[in-house]
């Protein structure tokens, strides 16, 4: 390996990073992570910290999952690649479809379309939604609805349904026909409603209103995260998702759940759909499907899609990726599914999630800079920071970075996104390591 100075200098000089400006990565050099084990990461300067980010919400089983590593290396040895485009397929991808059907049957989803990641899964869902309506002779249904503050990846379709201006404005014009509904975000919402259940009803009324305004027969699908993730961990009231499902059903609109974060156990349930007791028509998954060890995703498809696409000679899918059904990704995913079940990480996610959430609420008692703490459903927690609790005025631009750095020095990597500190550690987190994250955060806030 090249020495530390070489790596630091060339990172800033030659590499453009996602979600940051080239100038920022030069002026504020990122941590160079060179090793990982268990739930810990090591940087080039010799620090070892608990990874409270869990890679990027994806390393659910931690960094030492030998079964998955072995599956990847065995598959590489046996057959490193073969495509699943028309005329060929591969054994690992078939086996994975078979396992996924079993895991997702309670969500009403049986078929899989494989992708290379979350943005691909979203793009596939949006395209297939339009095609579904065309195949049914309802070609006017082309528009998409989504939630403000929702995150749906970076492709043009995904960015168009994205509900955060930071990921949109620089890339406009985006796809026409995408409309955004207020999110069930109790801390800040246009209705000034602080009761989560009442707010859920108001957001659903806004959804109905938008559908009436656009005309239901122009809308292909509604896409939403069951718990908004990148937008700041926003769990809706439990009535929200079932009401959205009902509205979509009444208006012939497909419901796509974007579960790139929430599928495979992160919420303390197998999926966000199962957490809220709904059956989506399509579910976007990626990230933890391979524990972050290989870029891979799966769009899961339900009965309505099956009815319209299968046995229909006109239903040619003019969409797919070179890496759809990549055998190494499929082998990794098979091992991850088995380990997720064997280690019972979903129950652990629920328990440790409660510990972290309660711990963050306790920090809120101590530090006025904490305006809101959200979580309580598995290992997805956010701390929203404000400069004034009464007015909820935003914090200064450098505050989040300072807390992040001090927390890192104290032993935990956390992610700062806008005003939020986001915690999404591996689901195999121990009680002790959850405690360590909270102690490090405490020191991070105390450092201000």
Long-range contact list for 165-173, CB < 8 A, 24+ apart?
166/418
| Binding flag, residue 230, ligand PMP (CB under 6 A) | yes
| Binding flag, residue 425, ligand PMP (CB under 6 A) | no
- Binding segment toward ligand PMP, per CB under 6 A, in 39-47, 257-265, 427-435, 438-446: 257-265
| Binding flag, residue 261, ligand PMP (CB under 6 A) | yes
206: tokens are 């806004």
Give 118 or 235: the residue with its C-beta nearer to ligand PMP.
118
277 Cβ partners below 8 Å, 6+ apart? Answer: 241, 242
- As a residue count, the chain comes to 448
Q: How far is the CB of 446 from ligand PMP (least distance, A)?
A: 30
The position carrying tokens 């890496």 is 323
Sheet harboring 370-374: ordered strands across? 370-374, 381-385, 420-423, 415-417
CA-nearest of 67, 117, 76 to 335 is 67
User: According to CB under 6 A, which one of 75, 83, 90, 119 is a site residue for ligand PMP?
Assistant: 119
Q: One symbol per residue from 77 to 116: x for binding ligand PMP (CB under 6 A), - otherwise; what is it? A: ----------------------------------------
- The residue of the chain with the least Cβ separation from ligand PMP equals 118
Q: How far is the CB of 448 from ligand PMP (least distance, A)?
A: 28
| Binding flag, residue 353, ligand PMP (CB under 6 A) | no
Residue 340 dihedral angles phi and psi, to the nearest 5°: -60, -40
379 Cβ partners below 8 Å, 6+ apart? Answer: 54, 266, 268, 349, 352, 353, 356, 423, 424, 425, 426, 427, 429
| Binding flag, residue 152, ligand PMP (CB under 6 A) | yes
| Binding flag, residue 122, ligand PMP (CB under 6 A) | yes
- Binding segment toward ligand PMP, per CB under 6 A, in 69-77, 145-153, 249-257, 422-430: 145-153
User: According to CB under 6 A, which one of 258, 281, 372, 433 is a site residue for ligand PMP?
Assistant: 258
- Binding segment toward ligand PMP, per CB under 6 A, in 137-145, 148-156, 339-347, 417-425: 148-156
Preceding amide of 173 cis, omega within 30: yes
User: According to CB under 6 A, which one of 54, 229, 265, 268 is a site residue for ligand PMP?
Assistant: 229
CA-nearest of 384, 381, 433, 383 to 412 is 433
| Binding flag, residue 117, ligand PMP (CB under 6 A) | yes
- Binding segment toward ligand PMP, per CB under 6 A, in 46-54, 134-142, 188-196, 224-232: 224-232
Find the DSSP H helices in 367-425: 399-409
Judge contact between 204 and 212, C-beta under 8 A. no
- For every residue of 183-218, DSSP letters joined together read ---TTS-TT----HHHHHHHHHHHHHHHHHHH-GGG
- Binding segment toward ligand PMP, per CB under 6 A, in 149-157, 176-184, 271-279, 345-353: 149-157
| Binding flag, residue 226, ligand PMP (CB under 6 A) | no
- Binding segment toward ligand PMP, per CB under 6 A, in 96-104, 147-155, 370-378, 383-391: 147-155
| Binding flag, residue 260, ligand PMP (CB under 6 A) | yes
Give 113 or 445: the residue with its C-beta nearer to ligand PMP.
113
Sheet harboring 178-181: ordered strands across? 109-115, 297-302, 282-285, 254-258, 219-224, 143-147, 178-181
- Binding segment toward ligand PMP, per CB under 6 A, in 173-181, 222-230, 381-389, 410-418: 222-230
Q: Centre a 10 Å sphere on the Cβ of residue 144 and count the other Cβ atoms it contains.
A: 26
Instruction: Give the number of residues in contact with ligand PMP, rule: CB under 6 A.
Output: 14
Give 284 or 434: the residue with its C-beta nearer to ligand PMP.
284
Give 157 or 327: the residue with its C-beta nearer to ligand PMP.
157
Distance CA 414, CA 212 (A): 42
User: According to CB under 6 A, which one of 12, 55, 62, 118 is a site residue for ligand PMP?
Assistant: 118
Residues interacting with ligand PMP, by CB under 6 A?
A: 117-119, 122, 151-153, 225, 229-230, 258, 260-261, 286
């Amino acid at each position: 390996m090249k020495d530390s100075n070489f790596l630091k200098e060339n990172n800033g000089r030659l590499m453009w990073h996602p979600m940051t400006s080239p100038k920022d990565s030069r002026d504020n050099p990122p941590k160079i992570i060179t090793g990982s084990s268990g739930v810990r990461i090591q940087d080039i300067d010799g620090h070892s910290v608990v990874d409270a980010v869990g890679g990027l919400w994806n390393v659910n089983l931690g960094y030492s999952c030998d079964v998955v590593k072995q599956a990847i290396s065995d598959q590489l040895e046996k057959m490193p690649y073969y495509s699943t485009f028309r005329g060929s397929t591969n054994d690992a991808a078939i086996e994975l479809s078979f396992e996924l059907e079993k895991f997702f049957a309670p969500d009403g989803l049986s078929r899989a379309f494989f992708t290379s990641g979350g943005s691909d899964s979203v793009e596939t869902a949006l395209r297939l939604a339009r095609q579904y309506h065309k195949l049914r002779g309802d070609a006017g249904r082309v528009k998409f609805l989504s939630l403000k503050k929702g995150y749906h990846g970076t492709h043009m379709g995904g960015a168009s349904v994205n509900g955060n201006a930071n990921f949109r404005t620089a890339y406009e014009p985006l796809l026409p026909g995408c409309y955004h509904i207020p999110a069930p975000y109790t801390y800040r919402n246009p209705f000034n409603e602080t009761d989560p259940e009442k707010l859920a009803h108001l957001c659903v009324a806004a959804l109905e209103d938008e559908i009436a305004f656009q005309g239901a027969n122009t809308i292909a699908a509604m896409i939403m995260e069951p718990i908004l993730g990148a937008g700041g961990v926003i769990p809706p009231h439990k009535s929200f998702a079932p009401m959205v499902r009902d509205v979509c059903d009444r208006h012939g609109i497909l419901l796509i759940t974007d579960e790139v974060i929430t599928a495979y156990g992160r919420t303390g349930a197998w999926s966000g759909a199962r957490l809220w007791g709904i059956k989506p028509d399509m579910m976007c998954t990626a990230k933890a499907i391979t524990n972050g060890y290989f870029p891979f995703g799966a769009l899961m498809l339900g009965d309505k899609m099956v009815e319209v696409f299968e046995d229909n000679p006109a239903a040619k899918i003019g969409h797919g990726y070179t890496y759809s059904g990549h055998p190494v990704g499929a082998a990794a995913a098979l091992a991850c599914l088995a380990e997720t079940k064997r280690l019972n990480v979903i129950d652990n996610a629920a328990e440790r999630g409660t510990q972290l959430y309660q711990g963050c609420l306790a920090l809120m008692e101590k530090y006025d800079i904490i305006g809101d703490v959200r979580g309580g459903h598995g290992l997805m927690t956010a701390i929203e920071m404000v400069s004034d609790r009464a007015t909820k005025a935003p914090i200064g631009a450098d505050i989040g970075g300072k807390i992040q750095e001090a927390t890192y020095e104290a032993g935990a990597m956390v992610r700062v996104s806008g005003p939020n500190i986001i915690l999404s550690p591996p689901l195999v987190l121990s009680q002790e390591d959850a405690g360590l994250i909270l102690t490090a955060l405490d020191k991070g806030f105390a450092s201000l």
